[in-house]
Amino acid sequence: MSRSYRDRGVVLRTQRLGEADRIVTLLLEGRGLTRTAAKGARRPGSRIGARLEPFAVVDVELHRGRTFEVVRQVETVEANAALRADDRLWAAASVLAEVVLHVAVEGERDHGLQRLLRAGLAALATAPAEPDVFVDAFLLRAASAVGFPVRTGSCARCDAPGPHAHLSVVGGGTLCGDCAGEGTQRVGAGVVAAVRTLADDGAWQALPGLAREAGPDRVRAGSYARAYAEHHLDRRLRSYDAVERPGPGSPEVRE
Ligand SMILES: [Zn+2]
């Protein structure tokens, strides 16, 4: 059996290795999270190095090595160059990569996560005016992809049909009056609706509208998304702090 194989995936992280090489961590369609060695990638003019940039979607030919898979060939599928040319987009895409590096399992394919990451990066690569709303959406969708979907239509604890006005991170979404504890925050219907839009997989097109219109509700839904992901994915997301956020909610709340 050949020790070489091809796969398609997303570059999540690159690190220096030795004098001229790089360790490149990819989320591959067939093999999940995979660490590869890209020999000579840091030499000037290296074609492999130029193509294995963070957030690029690539077809790779890999050779099974002892410690790392060794990159033989790389073809660009989606360069996603916009994400490396703009600090705000870089910061936003870095959160997506941090989340995936944390939840993806080495050697295990995960179609849902792969699809979500590609869609999220593609949405960011269109250079939206407010990339932070895409980050918040990704956090809730990634939590759902690994088994922690946020509930907004009914009570997350007892299933009582909603809408409900209590919103809980630990409880997994909205809670009815009976299930909500004393400390559970009450929020307006606009916040619940904003959380639902963020979490609704597939509706990336709805996000710029949410960013423009929902004001303070969206800001609140965004902090909820971060808290939700950090709690359920059990990780403090350091890269999130570098994402530019909208200021404190505008006082002109439309009736
Ligand atoms: Zn309940």
Express each pLDDT in 215-226 by its tens digit: 899 999 999 999
| pLDDT greater than 90 at residue 58 | yes
Q: What CATH architecture does domain 82-242 belong to?
A: Up-down Bundle (1.20)
pTM metric for this prediction: 0.93
* pLDDT surpassing 50 at residue 250: no
| 74-130 confidence digits (pLDDT tens) | 999 999 999 999 999 999 999 999 999 999 999 899 999 999 999 999 999 999 999
Q: State how far the alpha carbon of 100 is from the alpha carbons of 2, 33, 133, 210, 252, in Å.
A: 30, 9, 18, 25, 37
Q: In this structure, which CATH number among 3.90.440.10, 2.40.10.330, 2.40.50.140, 1.20.140.10 belongs to the domain 4-78?
A: 2.40.50.140
Ligand 1 center from residue 216 Cα (angstroms)? 26
Structure tokens of 63?
Answer: 């050779």
Give the pLDDT of residue 251.
38
Decide if pLDDT at 248 tops 60. no
Band (pLDDT 50/70/90 cuts) for residue 252 is very low
Report whether pLDDT(236) > 90.
yes
> 218 CA distance to ligand 1 centroid (A)?
24
Q: Which residues surround ligand 1, an ion (CB under 5 A)?
A: 155, 157-158, 160, 176, 179
For residue 168, the CA-to-ligand 1 centroid distance in Å is 12
Of 6-10, 57-61, 175-179, 251-255, the one with minimum mean pLDDT is: 251-255
Q: What is the whole-number distance in angstroms between the Cα of residue 90 and the centre of ligand 1?
A: 40
Average pLDDT, the chain: 92
> Of the ranges 120-129, 174-183, 237-246, which one carries the lowest mean pLDDT score?
237-246
The CA R_g of the chain, rounded to the nearest whole Å, is 20
Give the pLDDT score at 65: 87
Q: How far is the CA of 224 from the centre of ligand 1 (A)?
A: 19
157 CA distance to ligand 1 centroid (A)?
A: 5
Tell me the mean pLDDT in the region 139-168: 96
Give the Cα separation of 193 and 87 in Å (integer): 30
Look at residue 247 in the predicted model and tell me its pLDDT: 60
Centroid of ligand 1 to alpha carbon of 70 (angstroms): 52
- Taking 50 as the threshold, does the pLDDT of residue 255 lie above it? no
Token look-up 């004393």 returns: 182
pLDDT at 201: 82
Asked if the model's pLDDT at residue 1 lies above 60, the reply is: no
Å from CA of 232 to ligand 1 middle: 20
Are 150 and 228 in contact by the 8 Å Cβ rule? The answer is: yes
Domain ranges of the chain: 4-78, 82-242
Would you say residue 254 has pLDDT above 50? no
What residues are paired with 114 via a beta bridge? none
CA distance 117 to 138: 8
Q: Percent of the chain beyond pLDDT 90?
A: 86
